[in-house]
């Protein structure tokens, strides 16, 4: 644990009720098991694990979509709990989300300008919204000509850049991302990873990336958390973890990606 983390989870646990008949006793299936993690300002962190390991559920807790059964989540020493939109505006400005599938998350009826400024309007950010949208597009390598386009006029890589621009328009301290490059071709994926790295290095933006792609992890993330059966089983600097994995689940994840051996 760090002395002054920006995002912090302490003993977070979450479960779901299994389907049952009216006469059966309620059975709670644990999804997250006593997770404690600190994320420092500006740090790029990967969260990896097999499907069903609890990664997305943990991300939903960090996004204040789910309320943990136990434990606490804080942002800059302030408690984070699912609740009203107004009560979470401060958190939505500070921590933004980049979705896995930008095409389905971008309203096809809206222009890029409307999409990028929408969070500014919803979160009551006091600024020149048009100028902020232009700045956000510049940060992801798109110029002002894209402001009038709609999602249907964008390539997959351009749509993902717009999704990132939409997220960074509020100038957040942290981006929470869920498989942000999984649907992209290799050259476009490398470009988007480059955009994320540049944002982090230039703006000091922290990134937590949920992913299964260890090549992206090796290229972007300074630290990697490995999740297995709802628990964090490894938390180490990325290069150390990839070259000398300690846990069996980490070794299995690495073994499933043969090209990764070339990175050692």
pLDDT per position as a tens digit, 41-50: 999 999 999 9
With contact defined as beta carbons under 8 Å apart, do 193 and 220 qualify? yes
229-257 confidence digits (pLDDT tens): 999 999 999 999 999 999 999 999 998 87
In a domain, 177, yes or no: yes
- Examine the pLDDT at 94 and tell me if it is beyond 90: yes
In the structure, what pLDDT confidence band is assigned to residue 101 with cuts at 50, 70 and 90? confident
Q: pLDDT tier at 213 (50, 70, 90 boundaries)?
A: confident
Residue 125 lies in a domain: yes
Number of domains in the chain: 1
Residue 238 lies in a domain: yes
Please tell me the distance from the alpha carbon of residue 18 to that of residue 13, in angstroms, as a whole number.
Answer: 16
52 vs 23: CA distance, rounded Å: 28
Residue 260's closest CA among 220, 227, 217, 231?
217
Establish if 2 belongs to a structural domain: no
Range of the domain at 122: 7-263
Asked if the structure places residue 194 within a domain, the reply is yes
Are 164 and 98 contacting, i.e. CB atoms less than 8 angstroms apart?
A: yes
Q: Strand, helix or coil at 15?
A: strand
Assess if residue 1 is contained within a domain. no
Segment 95-114 shows an average pLDDT of 89
Measured CA to CA, the distance from residue 111 to residue 254 in angstroms comes to 41
Q: Report how far apart, in Å, the C-alpha atoms of 140 and of each of 81, 108, 114 are.
A: 31, 20, 17
Contact between residue 97 and residue 177 where contact means Cβ atoms under 8 Å apart? yes
Query: What is the share, in percent, of the chain residues with pLDDT greater than 90?
Result: 70
Do 261 and 240 form a contact (C-beta atoms < 8 A)?
Answer: no
Sheet architecture: strand order including 70-75: 28-39, 7-17, 70-75, 78-79
Q: What is the CATH number of the domain that holds 223?
A: 3.40.50.300
The pLDDT value recorded for residue 258 is 61
Task: Please answer whether residues 98 and 163 qualify as being in contact, where contact means their C-beta atoms are separated by less than 8 angstroms.
Answer: yes
pLDDT of residue 169: 94
């Amino acid at each position: 644990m760090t002395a002054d983390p920006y995002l912090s989870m302490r003993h977070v646990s979450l479960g779901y009720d299994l389907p049952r008949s009216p006469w059966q006793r309620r059975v709670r299936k644990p999804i997250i098991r006593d997770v404690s993690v600190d994320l420092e300002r500006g740090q790029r962190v990967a969260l990896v694990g097999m499907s069903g390991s609890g990664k997305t559920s943990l991300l939903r807790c960090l996004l204040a979509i789910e309320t943990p059964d136990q434990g606490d989540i804080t942002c800059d020493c302030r408690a984070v709990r699912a609740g009203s939109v107004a009560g979470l505006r401060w958190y939505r400005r500070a921590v933004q989300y980049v979705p896995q599938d930008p095409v389905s998350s971008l309203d096809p009826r809206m222009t890029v300008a409307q999409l990028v400024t929408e969070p500014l309007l919803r979160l009551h950010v006091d600024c020149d919204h048009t100028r902020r949208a232009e700045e956000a597009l510049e940060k992801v390598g798109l110029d002002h000509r894209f402001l009038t386009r709609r999602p249907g006029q964008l390539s997959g890589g351009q749509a993902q850049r717009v999704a990132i621009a939409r997220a960074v328009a509020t100038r957040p301290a942290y981006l929470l991302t869920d498989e942000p490059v999984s649907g992209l071709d290799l050259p476009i994926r490398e470009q988007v990873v480059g955009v994320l790295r540049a944002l982090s290095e230039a703006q000091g933006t922290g990134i937590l990336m949920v992913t299964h792609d260890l090549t992206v992890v090796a290229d972007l993330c300074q630290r990697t958390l490995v999740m297995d059966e709802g628990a964090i089983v490894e938390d180490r600097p990325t290069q150390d973890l990839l070259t000398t994995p300690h846990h069996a689940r980490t070794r299995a994840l690495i073994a499933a990606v043969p090209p990764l051996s070339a990175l050692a």
